[in-house]
Chains A and B, each alone.
Chain A
Amino acid sequence: MGKTSHNNFTVKFANVNGTGSSSANSMFMKSIFRMGIPVVGKNYFPSNIQGLPTWYEVRVSDKGYLAPSGSVEIMVAMNAQTYTEDLAAVAPGGYLIYDSSWPREELMARNDVTVLGVPLATMCNEKFDTARARTLMKNTAYVGVLAALLEMDVSVIEQLLLDTFGSKTHLVDANKTALDLGFNYAKDHFKCPLPFKTKASKKTNGYIMIDGNSTAALGCVYAGATVGSWYPITPSTSLMDAFTQYCSFFRKDEATEKNNYSIIQAEDELAAVGMALGAGWNGARSFTPTSGPGISLMSEFIGYGYYTEIPTVIFDVQRTGPSTGMPTRTQQGDITMCAYASHGDTKHVCLYPANPEEAFYLSVEAFDLAEQLQTPVFVLSDLDIGMNDWMIKDLKWDDKFKPNRGKVLSSEELENMDSFYRYLDVDGDGIPYRTIPGSHPKGSYFTRGSGHNKFGGYTEDASEYQDVVDRLLLKWETAKTLVPKPAVDFSKNNEVGIISIGSCDDAIREARDILEQQDQNLNYLRVKAFPFTKEVQKFLDAHKMIFVIEQNRDGQLSKLLITETEVDPKKIKSIRLYNGIPIFPKDVVDKIQLEINAGQAA
């Protein structure tokens, strides 16, 4: 099967949700990470609390590829219900481990897969007393089996147990016992190691393993956000959970034990965004995390924020739509909606992180942009970025960083002014000055979503109305100079390029390497923001054919490019992968080759 090298395989765990498997699976992944080997985990979980099938996929990749490979070398098949499909998913030459306490011989219908039975339940029932321990320790025991089969460094796993359970020695002991059970059984009964195995390396030095909701939340803390409002929705909930946790470390006033922040669990998303706008209007850095259904509800207020020019940050951790869709699967289906959310002429600044590392930096940047541009700013990540553990470079923070609060008049400045008008374009960049309520008597103004003129007064006058919406357009032009530039890899002089977005990045990186081996070099641009900057136009102009790769059915990014740039639509080849699973490099390669071959045939 060709993949007999070290550190290059995927292990997939098929479990039943609610059985405590996720901590064992994470322990397995983290141990490999600590052995210095690049690794990534993808969780395919149901929208359910207990009893349904759930999968966890750990890809070990010497080269540090972080997209799922699309092939499974070792299946840990702990769920009898899904056994047939799990067996079918194993790559030829691969292995399947199952709990042989209950024989499943009739299902071992593949002779190109080696099936390894381990009596996990029987062993754990003998060793542990309680029902809960018996269930949980089966999971740790299969990690022991894998440790033996993959020649993992057991001391690393044991250290991890100590770090995880700390002073709870009974848990450390129980887990060690279970680990040994599995390890010894494998050593005694199977030929260890397997053809693919781990080998300690140093490639994870300077990296951490973290999910993008945590890093985005950390970005909020570091950007100085003080008001966060939200309504629970998968996959964004853990962003607020993380913010809450970090605030409890970092944001307690030492003298009074009181909070330097306010987290408000709203009654719905309409209220959540209303609160974020109220706080932004009143001079606090505010944000609200949600997912697609939440944005749909927020739309009226988002247009209000756009028209009245109130800064706030909205995180859309995208999941599979339409409607409730598949809440626990990933997609990039909200690109169009966020770009133009709300009725009337509205458009919004959107940032598109590709991974948890960028989720941190773009989260910080979003707060600056929102205040500089005085408008709601979206950060669009997705379930894959937000909820899966990725290996990313250590996050860096520059202590010299000063937040850019934009054009806010201080009380001294107001004192020296004759009069203040909220929506005057004093500087010619489309961005007016604002004041913080309560700061100075001269600073007051009236905020309204109804027609207003440049002085902030109510109007139904045609030209006064148009004056303001035209200035907003000028502000949009200014936004193009302020938003992050795309990531461009434009080294080779050729006519074909790829444009993509967000979490497609790793699959594309790997796909380009595969294509390069076949002498097909493709330039690559990844948009990081809407509105598109001039670099995007330049890239479009420089290529004859551009593959636009994204995770939605309707090619939302490709259409946004066609609408918002000068590109000739015929140059765009839209590639859409949208089944809810993070995209596989080989699917990208196949689709591109199909197009290229079709083009040559024509």
Chain B
Amino acid sequence: MSYIKKPKIIRDNDPRNKLGMTFDDYEGVMSTLCAGCGHDSITGAIIQTVFDLNIEPYRMIKFSGIGCSSKTPAYFASQSHGFNSVHGRMPSVATGANAANSELLCIGISGDGDTLSIGMGQFSHAIRRNLNMLYIIENNGVYGLTKGQFSASADLGSTAKKGAPNLQTPIDPCTVAISLGASFVARSFSGDKDQLVPLLKAGLMHRGFAMIDVISPCVTFNDHEGSTKSYMSTRETKREAIYTDYIAPFSEIEVQYDEGTSVEVDLHEGGKVVLHKADDNFSPLDRGQSIKAINDASDKGELLTGLLYINESQPDFTETENTVIKPLNQIAFEDLCPGSEALHKLLDGYK
């Protein structure tokens, strides 16, 4: 076999979650990405997230498109069903799968190329449907897998490895998602696990479309001086708009904040997020304010991160479709087929 299974070493003192599973149980096959690729760090954060959330791997489905980033669903939760689809078209597959069974937790992983160019249409429409999924963009400003062409998220003036600047305006997935009506929009950095993990948890427990744009440097094609998506540039320009904690159900809030500076939002699928303001003028509950804050920051050369918008009361796809609670793939045939008598009656109308 030409894919490598990670050796599984079980030690007695390995931490176990409430399901009795170890960290290893949430791993996938060995990553084949370049050493230092941001995408691998995100994979690590995802493993941490699903471990902490005690997710039964077989109740989770993983989707992706095509790209280095889209390879990563194979690198975590090998006990979950995975679907590495075609370039830019993962949202439609996830939509169909969700229609068939909306009980399964759904994670989608995409790249900036996969989402913002070839997949812009499907991305937009998954947002409009408020499809219940966590949608992660592993954003490196280039097409990694095809060797470093600029993607649609490349900033104006950011340079390619050989020095040529990008001359087209970038698409910011966060402002796009908010204006299209996404119900959960966040931005983070692959190099900041402390910020990323709570966001991933909140996104997974959010009901509806949770989009997290994770700046994830491509060490091979876009980590040089002059690139605005390098490790160094991202560390320098990143500014947290709001601090996010995810609080699991039935657990205590440990840190106390000054009154008036924090907001709690209950999440549909369990737990809540506690948001602590870093900036008085920013509220993630107000679309207009949020878009303005992101744009203002960008004008100043800053990258605004954190949970940028959340609306927990927006109906999701299942609700607007008015489908039954029971997964459609589990309804007995007898309840789906109207039978001969009904046919007979119906056809009387065609006589």
Contacts and interface: CB of A to CB of B under 8 A. Distances in A.
A108 B247 CA distance: 86
B123 to A, nearest CB: 10
Contact of B328 (A262, A444, A447): A262
A284 to B, nearest CB: 4
Contacts of A398: 340
B103 A438 contact: yes
Interface string A257-281: 0111110101110111111111111
Interface in B95-150: 95-101, 103-104, 121-122, 124-125
Contact of A210 (B56, B337, B350): B350
Contacts of B324: 253, 256, 258-260
Nearest to A223: B337
Interface residues of B, number: 60
Contacts of B230: none
Chain A: number of interface residues, binned into ranges: 35 or more
Interface stretch (A73-81, A110-118, A453-461): A453-461
Given A224-B337, A444-B58, A438 B81 contact: yes
Interface string A395-417: 11111011100000000000000
Contact of A227 (B79, B91, B96): B96
Contacts of A260: 323-324, 328, 331, 335-336
B350 A208 contact: yes
Interface in A373-419: 394-399, 401-403
B90 to A, nearest CB: 8
Interface in A485-530: none
Interface in B323-349: 323-325, 328-329, 331, 333, 335-340, 342-344, 346-347
B96 A229 contact: yes
B339 A399 contact: yes
Nearest to A308: B83
A209 interface: yes
A437 B104 contact: yes
B340 A399 contact: yes
A267 B122 contact: yes
B100 A286 contact: yes
Interface in A300-325: 300-301, 304
A460 B4 CA distance: 13
Contacts of B346: 218, 246, 249
A209 B342 CA distance: 17
B9 interface: no
A222 B343 contact: yes
Contacts of B83: 278, 281, 446-448
A261 B96 CA distance: 12
B321 interface: yes
B92 interface: yes
B59 interface: yes
Contacts of B333: 224, 402-403
Nearest to B82: A446
B135 to A, nearest CB: 14
Contact of B92 (A208, A258, A262, A278): A278
Contacts, number: 233
A41 interface: no
B351 interface: yes
Contacts of A277: 93, 96
Contact of A226 (B59, B80, B331): B331
Nearest to B81: A437
B256 interface: no
A249 B56 CA distance: 38
A284 B78 contact: no
Nearest to B63: A278
Contacts of B343: 218, 222, 395-397
B351 A34 contact: yes
A450 interface: yes
B35 interface: no
B331 A438 contact: no
Given A260-B335, A275-B99, A398-B340, A440 B92 contact: no
Contacts of B3: 457-459
B92 A282 contact: no
B150 to A, nearest CB: 24
B295 interface: no
B121 A437 contact: no
A449 B84 CA distance: 7
A103 interface: no
B1 to A, nearest CB: 5
Contacts of B98: 278
A238 to B, nearest CB: 14
A183 B346 CA distance: 33
Contact of A401 (B29, B94, B337): B337
B340 A227 contact: no
A349 interface: no
10 contacts: A210-B350, A258-B325, A259-B321, A267-B122, A278-B92, A280-B96, A396-B340, A396-B343, A399-B339, A438-B101
Interface of B: 1-3, 29, 56-59, 61, 73-74, 78-86, 89, 91-101, 103-104, 121-122, 124-125, 321-325, 328-329, 331, 333, 335-340, 342-344, 346-347, 350-351
9 shortest interchain CB distances as A-B pairs = A278-B96, A274-B92, A284-B100, A275-B96, A283-B329, A279-B96, A282-B100, A278-B93, A437-B81
Interface of A: 33-34, 207-210, 218, 221-224, 226-227, 229, 246, 249-251, 253, 256, 258-262, 264, 266-268, 270-284, 286, 300-301, 304, 394-399, 401-403, 436-441, 443-450, 453, 455, 457-461, 464
Given A259-B321, A274-B93, A280-B96, 9 more contacts: A221-B337, A223-B337, A229-B92, A277-B96, A278-B95, A438-B58, A438-B101, A446-B84, A458-B3
